[in-house]
Chain A
């Protein structure tokens, strides 16, 4: 079935309908989440009680808007803190890995590359519990040996950051490697011929060339960190990131505040997603 081979009109019509239905299926849940953020009712469900912005800006119970709901605002802050750390760390290690795999030959390179890909095929829950178990046993050993407390190794933000970093780094490595492979080494050699130091050449020629990929992977890393649930769930302590707070609220019974948060989250993702596409388009 290709355009150059005529097909019966009815078959083509059915195919179009199926594709249309599929995209409705994709859009429907997201659309209802957005629509019910503006419903003037305490439940995110029909009947439609009229349009309101109370779930964003409201101050009177039960209509407390997102911007006045302290637990949500605090967890957005926590998520942003985690996301910035994860993004910074994974881009730094990802860039270093990209240079390692593109520029150096050494024994066991293929094996190391395969190990680097492993986090992609480990389920997030398992990644979470393995880091939880390991850090707890390290903390126990250290506390027994020294008599001091090692709270950083107990469930909390530091473990959340490490847990997310452990698999997001793989994505950063892949994105930056792809860009570095397109780099023409003669540009760097030219800089060396003109008297630049090795470091100077990398800093002034190679890094600017890599910058779009670095920025794009930083944005994607931030997005993945913001949205991560499975790994975070196992490692979270008393301060919970946004997805965990929303999950707890959802289990207790939902109000349209959650729709409002979701809408904001979607808007933020859309902006970040467009940004990363923009960076990647600059590449070509």
Chain B
């Protein structure tokens, strides 16, 4: 193997990845930033400035929607962690062999089904003429139809449903690697259920918790379908706002600024999450 052919091979392999990353990832994001800092002063006439970002901070609707999206995403992440942790623990520690594989695969099912179908399912369940409403009437708990769709709780149910898999899978992986004898030792030394959970299990599962939380937060923040379909017309979600600016209003400059703000927030959360847990992007994401 002469070094010349090896060099040639290297360049041949570098070409596609460079083309992909430059043309589809780096240049578009640079372009997005440039558009976000240009202001329209006349037809096909643009100035450079931060007016779009200023508009975001001065118009309460914009930054309130941004804050609302962030808070709801944080809430969805916390809920997903609280609901998902016992499931992951059950799969990792209390089942073995075939049952374990089956339960693990069952958690994956929502991933194989389009998000649109999942959301549609929740619409059928929750709407005024839906399954839950009819069930409650049949049981005599309510007298008339109840509308459970088009509120924040419905959005939350949908968000948790969509992202729980991304919490359970990393948690199962980290909990699997916790040796049972460590927990037994904890009990031998007089630990209670709570103290063992707090001092042995949770610290061990921390890498899984962090990577799960990062992914769930990102997915919720960038979600479009669930808030639009389950939250109805009045539900404001930042991705919906970006869509409106781009497609309905055709105000690409403001839309780009919104897009950049969303990207900045999601990158910041990823960065902080990795810093706090002392992990690198390659370790967290590369494994999935």
Contact = CB atoms under 8 A, between A and B. Distances in A.
B266 interface: yes
Given A3-B94, A126-B259, 11 more contacts: A29-B124, A30-B117, A96-B17, A97-B17, A113-B286, A116-B17, A117-B281, A123-B221, A125-B243, A126-B222, A129-B255
A3 to B, nearest CB: 6
Given A28-B125, A133-B35, A269-B112, A124 B259 contact: no
Interface string B252-288: 1001100100110011001000000000011001101
A115 interface: yes
A123 B222 contact: yes
Contacts of A254: 120, 123
B113 A133 contact: no
Given A33-B124, A123-B262, A233 B21 contact: no
Contacts of B17: 93, 96-97, 100, 112, 116
Interface in B125-159: 125, 127, 129-131, 134
Would you call the interface of chain A mostly helix, strand, loop, or mixed? helix
A3 B114 CA distance: 37
A36 B130 CA distance: 11
Interface stretch (A49-57, A58-66, A67-75, A161-169): A161-169
Interface residues of B, number: 83
A27 B29 CA distance: 39
B183 interface: yes
A233 B116 CA distance: 12
Nearest to A243: B116
A93 B21 CA distance: 11
A40 interface: no
A113 B282 CA distance: 8
Interface in B150-199: 161, 164, 180, 183-184, 187, 193
A197 B259 CA distance: 50
A234 B9 CA distance: 37
Interface stretch (B49-57, B60-68, B102-110): B102-110
A126 B263 contact: yes
Interface residues of A, number: 88
A230 B124 contact: no
Contacts of B225: 229-230, 247
B184 to A, nearest CB: 6
A125 B120 contact: no
Contacts of B127: 45
Given A22-B83, A114-B282, A250-B229, A1 B93 contact: yes
A30 B123 CA distance: 11
A18 B183 CA distance: 22
Interface in A212-248: 223, 226-227, 229-230, 233-234, 243, 246-247
Contacts of B93: 1-3
Contacts of B90: 15, 19
21 contacts: A5-B184, A15-B90, A19-B86, A19-B90, A23-B106, A26-B164, A29-B121, A93-B17, A104-B10, A115-B21, A121-B218, A123-B263, A129-B242, A132-B246, A133-B31, A134-B31, A227-B115, A243-B114, A247-B116, A258-B120, A262-B114
Nearest to A3: B94
Contacts of B259: 125-126, 129-130
Given A4-B184, A234-B243, A262-B120, A117 B218 contact: no
Interface in A1-53: 1-5, 15, 18-19, 22-23, 25-33, 36, 43-47
Given A2-B94, A117-B286, A227 B114 contact: yes
A211 interface: no
Contacts of A117: 281-282, 285-286
B24 interface: yes
